[in-house]
Structure 1
């Protein structure tokens, strides 16, 4: 692993701040930021070093050798930056979700559309299996998006743990947004509120899920990308397409009775997607369209200036 001085570790933390900002926003991938800033390969390599061999090093050579083996200083600098960024941005995002939901979801909508286009572009062979995979992914995500029961589960610790385990795998993949996974699973608002209020019990459960995901699911994803890359990307593209139903900016309550009341008094109601002209409130259509375009432009510009992989 690389030897660094204090200033260089500070630069790693700054990259972590950028990754945390990306991971807080559906449609932007922290993995993409890691790739753009040149630390992606070191991150994946360091994660792969957390295995049984690392435990053998700990037993045979002690804590110092173990820490060096897993690149511990790198992890502390990087994930420290990510944590600071997530906690800071969560306060802003929660405020926007409460007071400007149409505008925030419009921006997210543009981010996800652009992310879908970029992932589809990377699929090298559109055969029947990949087309079916895309359709299956879209149908599953669409069904999940229209289901109303996940938000109730999103407050249960087992579901928060599962959400963290799945979302972290997306967070470390370029082009796939972990925050988007949380939105799809109905856990995004819960996670953001937990970070904003420093709910340490919720944060600990979520972080534990992330740790399990890093050490287990990430290996499965690595295998799938190594052996079934195009099919995996096709299914992920379908998931992104289907999720657009979840993040459609204009929703009306279909019941006056909340199905969930949070401990802080926030109430959640059953909702249905509607056209802007049927929205019960100011549709802010012009500004919403501009924010969709801004989200599209942000992702496309990030892709434009990202270093390209060489074969």
Structure 2
């Protein structure tokens, strides 16, 4: 759900920030207004967010765990019992295996360490593709590439709306394709978008028609990023086990927000130092992401938790 709400927020924040709405260009203020709305809604709905079946089983026993499984799976009693038996086999009788793992345990346990690094790098690199740069400065980028000032903001909103549609489409695509496959293919398109944007910015003055390349690059980037966002959030939870999931996602989330800030912070300086070639930096981090997915992220579709974790035991 978060993966879908993020691109929807891009459209809303750009709309609120449009000078014809607020009277001045304030995209950051628009983003804050949007996020404030959903923060309040999240707090209001937090009471109804259930524990995971594993947490419920280890804290309260099989009865409450069965109730949560019924809410999440809508399965018949036989399937619920099969999953409860699996929870018992995972939790065991040793109380030490039922609590959440500490950071020291994760670092010193080879299997946990591998999937911890996999989650943190995957989560952090989500923003390393240059998204904060595109979100905050898309109008400026399009202007530099020769797009008319009258249409840059509507163009940005259209691209962000396309990202929301692509994110919704990714939810459907994940029924058939593995998340890792979707992310690698989307990264290929992001690399192409960075290359096209660089060419457009550098040649628009000599070749006016190249301004349309920036238009296409923005739409290509946002569509691919919408797929990657949804696939990333779907993938993160299944890469971990219950004992390590909360800590992995907590530290991975910190990396995610640090990269979000860093990309937005460094982008204006890169625009001064290397001008239109700044997008090549984000192209490089996108290539690193593709290498990471290819070598260190397992296929997860149709696999059990034990089969996924076997990848990290090697």
TM-score, normalised with respect to structure 1: 0.30
Q: Which structure has greater helix proportion?
A: 2
Radius of gyration: which is bigger? 2
